[in-house]
């Protein structure tokens, strides 16, 4: 089945630094979603991407839908302590209709003040 490889698995950064993480797939997706999960809570949708090459921002977060349709990137600028959490990518395959989302295993972000 389809799988998403999310990297890095974890990262430790200083407050104020920029962060980059990515998600790759062996197959083509037509939708990419990025979620953030705080400890003890459910994933919260950050950004949704629907078109190859699309670049979308949400505050300090920017995500891009790769032109190959097999990858997506999430950048966080000027990180702050509340950015701590697990970031998940999710993709929906090209078999249109109701194809289940495939989730990556997450990138655990720690911010050192």
Partner 1 sequence: DAGVIQSPRHEVTEMGQEVTLRCKPISGHDYLFWYRQTMMRGLELLIYFNNNVPIDDSGMPEDRFSAKMPNASFSTLKIQPSEPRDSAVYFCASSEGGFNEQFFGPGTRLTVL
Encoded tokens for 105: 């295993």
Least Å distance, CB 8 to partner 1, is 16
Cα separation, 91 vs 60, in Å, equals: 22
Of the pair 40, 59, the CB lying nearest partner 1 is at 40
For residues 85 and 73, is the Cβ–Cβ distance under 8 A? no
Q: How many residues bind partner 1 (CB under 8 A)?
A: 21
Q: What's CA 88's distance to the chain center, in Å?
A: 5
Least Å distance, CB 104 to partner 1, is 8
- For binding to partner 1 (CB under 8 A), which residues are involved? 31, 33, 35, 40-45, 48, 50, 88, 92, 98-101, 103-106
């Amino acid at each position: 089945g389809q799988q998403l490889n999310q990297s890095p698995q974890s990262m430790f950064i200083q407050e104020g630094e920029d962060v980059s993480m990515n998600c790759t797939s062996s197959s083509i997706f037509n939708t990419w979603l990025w979620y953030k999960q705080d400890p003890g809570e459910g994933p919260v949708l950050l950004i949704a991407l629907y078109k190859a090459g699309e670049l979308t921002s949400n505050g300090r977060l920017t995500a891009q839908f790769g032109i190959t349709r097999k990858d997506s990137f999430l950048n966080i600028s000027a990180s702050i302590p509340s950015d701590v959490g697990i970031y998940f990518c999710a993709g929906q395959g090209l078999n249109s209709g109701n194809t289940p989302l495939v989730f990556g295993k997450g990138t655990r972000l720690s911010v050192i003040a």
